[in-house]
Every structure is written in structure tokens, then in C-alpha cells.
Amino acid sequence: MKIALIGATGMVGRVILDLIKERNLFFEDIFLAASETSIGKQIHFLNKNYSVISLEKTLHLDPDIAIFSAGRQVSLKWAPKFAEKGIIVIDNSSAWRMDSSTKLIIPEINGSILTLQDKIIANPNCSTIQMLMVLAPIHKNFKIKRIIVSTYQSVTGSGMKAVKQLENESKGKNGEMAYNYPIHQNAIPHCDDFLKNGYTKEEMKLLNETHKILDSKIKISATAVRVPVIGGHSESINITLENSFEISEIITLLNNTSGVTVEDDPAKLKYPMPIFCKGKDEVFVGRIREDFSEKNSLNLWVVSDNLRKGAATNAVQIIENIIQKGFVK
């Protein structure tokens, strides 16, 4: 199997390389591509130096799988060119998520729907992935009617420029800004661009992607906030169910869900935090409690490393799913 990684020099690209190594993903050859400004750079990977190459050259090398982590515009332009050659594209951008002919995949939830005909496979938004990893089993067993979610998102979701802004501000240094306001000691209720309906694109992703993956009948309201955190995204989630439940049933269900770790023991001050989820592939959930203000409702606190399960891990798991199905060898 030959793999191409588009956006190899970026934050997600580097994590994908880490995961290929960690998960012993077998490949015959790997091609590392990036923007023109990065062509020729050397990346040391598995005891070998690789030169970053152009997308054009990568296309002509005929990889079996191409992982795109280079942004929406690159994916819109190049993913179809790769797909036309029979190359399976796994896209981390927002370019193809809501395309009616493209499947939006979280392997633990709907990986079974992939077929050999799927040449462009979309990776969901990071916030959507961690939320649905927890909510999918609850929906399957109790039917979710409504979701109210507030996200508290790491600066890593905005790339290295945002990480550098936080680092500079924490040291009292001036520098290039990724955000319109300081992020150090601040919370900015603004993730991605604002739309005419008053919501941001990030907030609408949570709605639209949940409808596509889980159930179009679920009512959803989202607020996305950028916070001065490095380790991962956090989400405060309130859900209303069609069926009655016991909290013990929810906890047992989540304890038996692959890829989800329950950390919920308030007496011992045990609950998920982004500082402890950094570098881990699981989605962590805690503060699981009944909402006494509304019938059949509960609250959850969900945390995950947005660069791992929210992007890179999910993409690599899709590759593993494809291999397991025998689509590539």
C-alpha cells in the first residue's frame, strides 16, 4: 500500500505521521506533500528522511490512499483529481462533508457503510466527532430529541499561528495574531466565520454533520467558544431523550462503548480535562447527571484531543477500516 499525506508539515499532518508509527500501519511507500513554500523540506520519519513534494508530483506517483489535511481550497481543487485516478481520498477539511455523494465517517459509528465506490471520504469536524462518539450509543438506545452544546475549543484547532499567539501573549510578547482579540486569559465566542443567521460556521457544522451522521430529526443548538487551552476541546452537552433512563444505565452504556472512557467520580474530583487528554485517542466523558429542569434530560462533559480523535486518529482509523474491508492491500 502506498500512502500520500497532503499537508505533511502542518499540525494535523505531523500527528498523522505519529499515528502511522504508533499503530504500525503497514505501507510500502509514503509520499509527503505540502504547499509550494514547503517543497524540498526534509521530514524525518521512521529512520528515514523524506523530501516534501508537490501535489502534482504526488498525483503522478499513484498512491493507493491520499490523506488531505491542507485546507478546504486544496481539497476542492485536488481531491477530485486523485479520486478520478481511483485513489481513495480521506479529507480532513470541510470541503466534502455536506456533499450529498460523499460519506461522512466516524468508523466506530458508521464505518460499515463504506464501499469500494467511495473514492472521497470526509472526516467530520473535530467537535462533531467527540460529541457523537458519546451521543451515538445513547441515541441508539434512548433516542435523542434535542441537543444543546457549548464547546470550549483549543487554540490548536486554529493552527500553529494561534498556538504562537497564545505563547507570545502568555510571555508578554508582541507578535502576529490569529484572532481578532487576545486569547491569553480570554474566551472568544467566535469559531470560524459568522453566518447571516447569527451562528458561526463551526456551530452549524455541529448541527449539519450530526444530522448527516446520526439523525436529521434531532433538534440542535450550539455555541462555540475559543479558549486559551492547548490540550483539546471540551463540550458541555445537554440532551433530552424520548425514553426514560437511569444514570447508571447511561454510565454502563458508555463504559461499554469502544473509544470512549468514562471519568466520572465527583467525590474523588475525577472528571475529564483537556490537560490530561492531550496525546490520547479516546474521547473522555464525565459530570454525567440528570437535568432536573426537564423530563428525560441529562448533562455531560466531553473532552478530547482535537488533533488526535478529532482529526488525525479518525483519518487513520478510516484507513484501517478500508484495509479491513479489503479495499486496499
Q: Establish whether 126 is a catalytic residue.
A: yes
Q: Which helix (H) or strand (E) holds 153?
A: strand 144-153
Cα–Cα distances in angstroms (integers) from residue 153 to residues 54, 274, 287, 316, in the given order:
32, 10, 18, 22
25: Cα separation from own chain's centroid: 20
- Active-site residue (options: 60, 126, 211, 277): 126
CA dihedral 136, 138, 142, 144 (to 10 degrees): -60
**Residue 329, pLDDT score:** 78
Distance in angstroms (rounded) separating the CA atoms of residues 146 and 191: 22
Q: Establish whether 233 is a catalytic residue.
A: yes
Nearest to 38 by CA among 67, 9, 17, 59: 9
Distance in angstroms (rounded) separating the CA atoms of residues 242 and 143: 5
**Residue 54, pLDDT score:** 96
User: From first to last of its 329 residues, what are the pLDDT tens digits of the chain?
Assistant: 999 999 999 999 999 999 999 999 999 999 999 988 999 999 999 999 999 999 999 999 999 999 999 999 999 999 999 999 999 999 999 999 999 999 999 999 999 999 999 999 999 999 999 999 999 999 999 999 999 999 999 999 999 999 999 999 999 999 999 999 999 999 999 999 999 999 999 999 999 999 999 999 999 999 999 999 998 999 999 999 999 999 999 999 999 999 999 999 999 999 999 999 999 999 999 999 999 999 999 999 999 999 999 999 999 999 999 999 999 97
Helices 313-325 and 11-22 meet at what angle, rounded to 10?
A: 50
Distance in angstroms (rounded) separating the CA atoms of residues 101 and 107: 18
pTM of the model: 0.97
Domains of the chain: 2-124+311-325 (3.40.50.720), 127-306 (3.30.360.10)
- Active-site residue (options: 44, 184, 211, 233): 233
8 A C-beta contact, residue 151 and residue 224: yes
Q: What angle do CA 9, 13, 17 make, to 5 degrees?
A: 105
